[in-house]
Structure 1
């Protein structure tokens, strides 16, 4: 009997083992027979899933026998669902699985797995509103993936953007109403980050990196697809957030650092209903940080819930939100005089003590901020898809804001402090309807987007006027004399809420509310003339309706603009090497101005066409050695024309004749020479000049918003792949800039900020479920500054320690 029982038990164990020993293999390729690495392969309604390797191959092992549905999905390609039936112990080879390019813009599936070239540009559908590979796109853009941010232990948005070629911070987030987000220079023009997942998403503070999947920096005028409200002539910055995925998992992370930095980050994804394909994800972070200066702090709580619901193979919905409660002291910049020479023309002569904040922790700003988006994706046919998108943003500022300005009246490099109490709010609404097609006319493939866009912004300002609140020299010497009165005053000005409130008692309180609307129609087509030659054509019709101050009609005006875009791209080596050229357009609406000699009677309003920026660009893109070498090299020439200037023949008339020229050269390289080693490098050179203007102060000079002429960045990390050091890694890099102008006017002369190079390094250990890392920022303790008519000191040496656990 015991023998029979043993035999029966062995048979049962063997049967169970065989029942769970089936497998599925296959190879995922695109329509050009090229392998697709990193494709998500999932058995629906199970916990089984994987990604394809560099050759497009995948294996799902240890499967039970039965009937399954295999889902194969990849950003930019149409998802395929394949029924499979497995017998016990069967090894099923599905052979080649072809994915056709489609419009999976709203259905990104994120599964963290090892992939080649972690720092490379990911394919994105937001850049062109079409699912184009980077090597198919005639526009240049930089992508900063989350893997790069993790490698660098990034805790703030400014550090993240240091990885984007040709981007330099002009000044940090001030938190003030209306434009409190950070400013950056891009191809010679200032820009703020105002896009989230391709839709408007505003903030008066800084962006929390906890919810960032990647950052996309589009280069050059981009108004044809995105309008002028969220872009600049130099380009735009789009933040792509983390989204729900099929499965359950998450991550907990804690980072602590010098100057009181503590940050807790949580990420959790789960199915609310697997049967209904309803998935939920939440990212949250709590951050507190002190300043390296004598005062200053920032604390914030951030939460980002998101929901995806796939009703069926045709219809899906998504909801995303980012909610921030933040409080901070604003960085007190030294504003240089823009109309009279500053006594000092460099930092040494200024005698600036950068350890001084010129504020106190009693004077703070609150920056609550919310962004919400609802997205509906509906498959109309095999060739057409509909997208309906709604985004709403609300950003507010309440509290005390101050700045220091060099009036030059008191002498001795004395800066006057002005302070007010902020109470401002900006509300935006954006509605888009896109129809995206992928079809052939004769033998020519067309990838088309046709869209309608409505954008509305309402700004309210109930802050006080600015009050004089003492003077200070850059070395910290206090001078309380009011430069606007004849009496010499010695009354102290305490940096406290009570003192400031007393000074603001008799100041006027604003009651300002303004609004504008933008109605747009746009279309873009990528036409494959041959397998290797394609052309991109785009056009936007934009109607700007400015209501201005709602209490008066005098500032109301309307303008209509056409914005074209063209591009040609040739691939001598398909999906490996591309040569491209583009023409891109941007524009700015111009308000009417009064003209006519007042001695001859009442002046009249003269209307103008929108200001125009046009870019010509040439370059090459590579994707060589099985995605191990991605590079972009480009030369651009941007000319801004139709700026309103004074008529040379009449000082009482205005004409559109001002011009600014910005030319430059950029190189970006992402390389993975061998497993474990990843390299990111960028270099840019920009030559900008105001070539035509009635303002002789700026004529034939480099605009201040252009920033440094030369920028460079480099980061490399290596992780040991085997042996006793398996999982250990090191990282090192640097970023820097040539000298730049804080002031560059005819009457004031120049105030030059020196060049700098900042070195960084890290060590880490990556295990199966957790990661431990140490990061040293500004390892050589470089003292450096940035500015835009301002002087903004940067962070000294800082040590960060991080531990993360994935589940």
Structure 2
């Protein structure tokens, strides 16, 4: 960047039902869009004379002005030459915009110029007086600077690296991406990835409020087994049960919906999840959080950052927590120690190296699930208690230790070329005993049980090399990306089976002896490798048309060793080519319709066909048409999309050899999604979403044609809003949300789980600029509900958490 340029701180498959749902959702889009100006008018417009709470540490003036613009929700621009080398004192407390800017610019020959209703600029003041003359300004919606790996002010993110691996505006991306920001995670007190996703359309958590897995379904497809998790864009190749994510450590969590293989290789067709960790920063940050709540929950968390050198060339971030807690389920704890550290070295403007590491220790239990009789189906003895534990307290455990180590390297070769290299290593161990439930007897009281003890070791590493070139040709602007990535993963498991007495679900008596077999039921190790070469072209023509082209070649291989027999078997050795093409048109008013086609491949299941041949990778393809609305200078984003997503090469019964499978199955998911995110005023924030998923097995030899995937509702909708009473009761904030999930089926489609609506709420209050309190209540009306897959899982009963936060 030229230093003289200004910087701006800113089970039914009928198509008629799909059409009706799409029409209803489009009407909802119009209603939401039309309601926004009215809502803005109803909210009293803040003026500079009204007080706001600011917390800006002493430091470089440029950074302080950026922070002020974000916190005050104004647009502020300045020439870097005017502020270079200047420092400012701490701004902490209640100020009007006028007072705050006066304090930041005190003693400096600078003044504020009003450019228009929503934009202001710092300029040199005329030296006719020792005072800086500051015209009156009005607070308006913020247009803040943002980077794909950086923080987001509020709920509306407009940059993302997930969909393109480049810092390209979301409005120029022809595929749906949902982004949950740190501000949303904080105000909703999301303490698991499942809780993070609960206001996101098209995403269904698996297994209730799971403490042992981040398993989820996206657009009707189970993405869990394909390791869909990424950390800062690097592949986090871990087994489903090798650990869970810690939301407090994240700056944002991004969900790319639909096939993502063109950039990421092996992936389920539903999509991937990229978690962006809290990054080092030069501005001092000191935060402590103390929590107490339901299920005897106690937690201490902290987040610290700042410069390690005077010039800010070396900075750090340290985030961590310690938790001791029970859960709704008897004898299942939720204890955790977590720490994450990062250091960034920026020797000059062209080079940045960030080292990252984290460590996590979880002690919890595996909630196997309950029988349908007594949860979603009638039981002659009544309903099974929500807190029922079907295991044995002295046997069950789920202890996981894992850590990651990696780095993010960026070097600007020149003004047009940038090289990036992302590396990530993962190591995890799981010590896991659990008792699983079988069938209930004729009395519908006793459930048969079986015991399992297993130990897992999971290691992986991945490296991604990217070369980005920006160039112009006539009226077109090009961002070309070529990359080479490589991943290795090793997973070893030893597992024992065992027996245990039946359990009375309505009058449980624990203490039964668990007898494990002397010989392992299995002891195997799987090693896999993936090498990928990809290219992408982003073309912006006349600032109106955006064309996205991409292609990728992958080579994947895997072999398994049975350590009981010392026999090694090749699981697969395949290659795959995937592509993506998309088109976007950018209207001046912020509307951006798009259309895209994308492909995916997923490593095949284990086993062989009747001819002894290994299975081929499954193939996915998606057609998507969408419309985004992101008006310039407003913190508002609305996305509506219609998609058809198909997975082929699915295994199904071989009719000629029924003991074997053949890859002739197909699963299809058609749907509509609507997501609106808005910081409507300096006081009011809103999230609204609706998702329709019509997924079914379309081809099968197993008699499952027409079946829906387990636990996937046809309809899901949510609404969240929070409001700060800055003018009437300074420091007070209220928020509430409602989540609706329609009826769904179990995996076999033999019974149905009813739909439900759950309400959440929060009350927060800033006592001083340093101290704040919050009360979060989930499931306010204590709604009893369950979802089912292979078993049934109760949703968490009403629970509350009080948080005291101290920033200094």
Bin the TM-score by the shorter chain: 0.7 to 0.9
Deviations 1:198-236 (A, max 9, x none): 1222362332222111111111111111122xx421111
Q: How far, CA to CA, are the matches of 1:172 and 1:393 in structure 2?
A: 26
Correspondence for 2:217 among 185, 188, 192? 185
Distance 1:92 1:595, change over 3 A: closer
Query: Conserved in 2, the CA contact under 8 Å of 1:42 and 1:49?
Result: no
Query: Conserved in 2, the CA contact under 8 Å of 1:334 and 1:405?
Result: no
SS of residue in 1 equivalent to 2:348: coil
Distance 1:26 1:46, change over 3 A: closer
Distance 1:595 1:143, change over 3 A: closer
TM-superposed CA distance for 1:701, in Å, is: 1.5
Residue correspondence of structure 1 range 251-266 to structure 2 within 5 A = 251-266=287-302
2:324 paired residue number: 288
Structure 2: stretches of 5+ with no match in the other structure: 11-55, 89-104, 114-119, 123-143
Query: Conserved in 1, the CA contact under 8 Å of 2:758 and 2:780?
Result: yes
Residue correspondence of structure 1 range 210-359 to structure 2 within 5 A = 210-228=248-266, 231-275=267-311, 277-334=313-370, 346-348=377-379, 351-359=383-391
Correspondence for 2:247 among 205, 209, 215? 209
2:763 paired residue number: 763
Number of residues paired by the alignment? 703
Q: Does 1:535 align with 2:547?
A: yes
Correspondence for 1:708 among 710, 713, 730? 713
Q: How far, CA to CA, are the matches of 1:546 and 1:658 in structure 2?
A: 23
TM-superposed CA distance for 1:55, in Å, is: 6.0
Query: Conserved in 2, the CA contact under 8 Å of 1:564 and 1:585?
Result: yes
Q: Does 1:435 align with 2:415?
A: no
1:560 paired residue number: 575
TM-superposed CA distance for 1:173, in Å, is: 7.5
Q: How far, CA to CA, are the matches of 2:341 and 2:83 in structure 1?
A: 37
- Kindly report the root-mean-square deviation, in angstroms, between the aligned alpha carbons of the 2 structures: 3.5
TM-superposed CA distance for 1:332, in Å, is: 3.2
Query: Conserved in 2, the CA contact under 8 Å of 1:25 and 1:57?
Result: no
Distance 1:55 1:797, change over 3 A: closer
TM-superposed CA distance for 1:563, in Å, is: 0.7
2:593 paired residue number: 579
Deviations 1:224-263 (A, max 9, x none): 11122xx421111221110111122221111111111111
Query: Conserved in 1, the CA contact under 8 Å of 2:208 and 2:796?
Result: no
Query: Conserved in 2, the CA contact under 8 Å of 1:103 and 1:385?
Result: no
TM-superposed CA distance for 1:548, in Å, is: 2.1
Structure 1: stretches of 5+ with no match in the other structure: 1-23, 31-39, 71-85, 337-341, 479-492, 597-603
**Which one is further off, 350-359 or 364-373?**
350-359
Q: How far, CA to CA, are the matches of 2:369 and 2:504 in structure 1?
A: 13
Residue correspondence of structure 1 range 371-520 to structure 2 within 5 A = 371-406=404-439, 412=444, 414-463=446-495, 465-476=496-507, 494=511, 499-500=513-514, 503-504=515-516, 506-508=518-520, 510-520=522-532
2:724 paired residue number: 719
2:744 paired residue number: 740
1:633 paired residue number: 640
Correspondence for 2:705 among 696, 699, 707? 699
TM-superposed CA distance for 1:421, in Å, is: 2.1
Q: How far, CA to CA, are the matches of 1:608 and 1:437 in structure 2?
A: 39
Q: How far, CA to CA, are the matches of 2:549 and 2:57 in structure 1?
A: 35
Q: Does 1:162 align with 2:179?
A: no
SS of residue in 1 equivalent to 2:66: strand
SS of residue in 1 equivalent to 2:782: coil
Q: How far, CA to CA, are the matches of 2:87 and 2:178 in structure 1?
A: 36
- The TM-score with structure 2 as length reference comes to 0.80
Deviations 1:481-505 (A, max 9, x none): xxxxxxxxxxxx725xxx43xx126
TM-superposed CA distance for 1:775, in Å, is: 1.6
Query: Conserved in 2, the CA contact under 8 Å of 1:329 and 1:361?
Result: no
TM-superposed CA distance for 1:668, in Å, is: 0.5
Q: How far, CA to CA, are the matches of 1:87 and 1:158 in structure 2?
A: 47
Query: Conserved in 2, the CA contact under 8 Å of 1:353 and 1:476?
Result: no
Q: How far, CA to CA, are the matches of 1:799 and 1:88 in structure 2?
A: 48
1:13 paired residue number: none
SS of residue in 2 equivalent to 1:667: strand
Deviations 1:387-433 (A, max 9, x none): 11210111211142221122x67773643222222211111110111
1:486 paired residue number: none
Q: Which has the larger radius of gyration?
A: 1
- The TM-score with structure 1 as length reference comes to 0.80
TM-superposed CA distance for 1:755, in Å, is: 1.0
2:75 paired residue number: 56
Q: How far, CA to CA, are the matches of 1:347 and 1:369 in structure 2?
A: 42
1:91 paired residue number: 110
Distance 1:356 1:393, change over 3 A: same
Q: How far, CA to CA, are the matches of 1:103 and 1:255 in structure 2?
A: 31
Q: How far, CA to CA, are the matches of 2:82 and 2:585 in structure 1?
A: 48
Query: Conserved in 2, the CA contact under 8 Å of 1:173 and 1:182?
Result: no
Correspondence for 2:229 among 182, 190, 194? 194
Q: How far, CA to CA, are the matches of 1:27 and 1:529 in structure 2?
A: 25
SS of residue in 2 equivalent to 1:433: strand
Deviations 1:552-584 (A, max 9, x none): 34334310100111111011226x110001111
Q: How far, CA to CA, are the matches of 2:719 and 2:708 in structure 1?
A: 26
SS of residue in 1 equivalent to 2:630: strand
Residue correspondence of structure 1 range 530-679 to structure 2 within 5 A = 530-549=542-561, 551-573=566-588, 576-590=590-604, 604-624=611-631, 626-646=633-653, 656-679=663-686
Q: How far, CA to CA, are the matches of 2:560 and 2:463 in structure 1?
A: 21
